[in-house]
Structure 1
Amino acid sequence: MTTEYRDIIYDGLWKNNTSLVQLLGLCPLLATTGTLINGLGLGIATTLILIATNATVSLIRHIVPNEVRIPIFVLIIAAFVTAVELLIKAFYYDLYLVLGIFIPLIVTNCFVIGRAEAFASRHSVDKAMLDGLMMGLGFTFALVLLGGLRELLGHGTLFAQAEIMFGEFGKTMTLTIFENYKGFLIAILPPGAFFGLALLVVLKNMIDQRLNKRVVKVTTTQEKTVLTAS
């Protein structure tokens, strides 16, 4: 794997994570993460739309007039959002009822149109699709983490209502972490989403700082070794 592909993966999953670094697409992130499963469902839907949109934009990037590229990109996104919405409504109706308006609102999600404009319209299909996949997985990662955190604090469970995605098997997936738990109400209310996101951003920044210190320490050690040897 070339350095460029590794950079795309690292940027999407961690370095430029849309939710934890760029802080884009916060409306669905904060509104649908009452449970882990809700976050997972919206994350998968968004990822599929990102991959399809980026691939299509990359394919037509040489024939789209520069003056009308944004309206065309929005139409492409709207077409794929409609297709995904209809699929979810047909096969995962309970999930569709939970996510509601936030599925069609993916059309207006700023990071979806942003990836089409900033990356897919300037790169080959394989790189555009990889970017869509990684950005989508990074978004899903944040949704699942926040949804799991809020569900755990609010209800004392994980994977509650998994049957809306996994059918009968999903009923066996619910994990009760705290027995006879009365719940932490604010975690499942809108303010809990903001507090939870802030905590995740802080944790990510702390991890980045530790990683940077290790890199600096290793680099300094290597430089001293070279100077000593010379």
Structure 2
Amino acid sequence: MEHGKMITLFGFLTFDVSTVLMTTISSIIVFVLAVAATRTLALRPTGMQNIMEWVVDFVKGIINSTMDWQTGGRFLTFGMTLLMYIFVSNMLGLPFMVGTHGEEGHLTWWKSPTSDPTITLTLAVMVVALTHYYGIKMKGTSGYVKGYFQPMSFLFPLKIIEEFANTLTLGLRLFGNIYAGEILLGLLAGLGASGVGGALGAALPMLAWQGFSIFVGGIQAFIFTMLTMVYMAHKVSDDH
């Protein structure tokens, strides 16, 4: 299956309508989950509150593994939002994918927003930009710039290249894994619809791949959040 796109122009800007729609849906789902989990707090958590507290502890563990809590505690909310948003976005394209056939081919309306490189690279750019912001805020401009010339000044060009490489790898790793998973799911669904191997023969591999895709989606959300905190620690901690 080829991921079709419905493109619309707004002035000199180009938008993929399905990507904008699914990004909005992901944001709404994360907001609703957060509100539902914190609406009625209890000393003995149950249900949604229990899940949210598990997320808090999980992100705390990520932060503590990359920097001291006194420095990294301020990034707890950021890490939770990032983890939940990426996980929900990764999962959206798994249950079903709704499309119509137009003159230009198959238009996919329901998909994971993280299967679009525009979204994942935008997230990566925002993360790297935030690391620079907090690095300057916590170390001062002179102290932050000085770090690019340590331990030896001739390494400065390599450190600049590293910043671009981190941005690209952070975004493209997430995109590649989610996009490939949705492509294979679409191919398996197409085999069942066309009668190749029978609907049952296509359904079993599709269910197995969906289960594996849930695992991959969770791992990719964890890796993205972990690398974000690693990059942040490199900028804000004196011992990194």
Normalized per residue, the structure richer in helix is: 1
Q: If the length of structure 2 is used for normalisation, what is the TM-score?
A: 0.30
Higher strand share: 2
TM-score by length of 1: 0.31
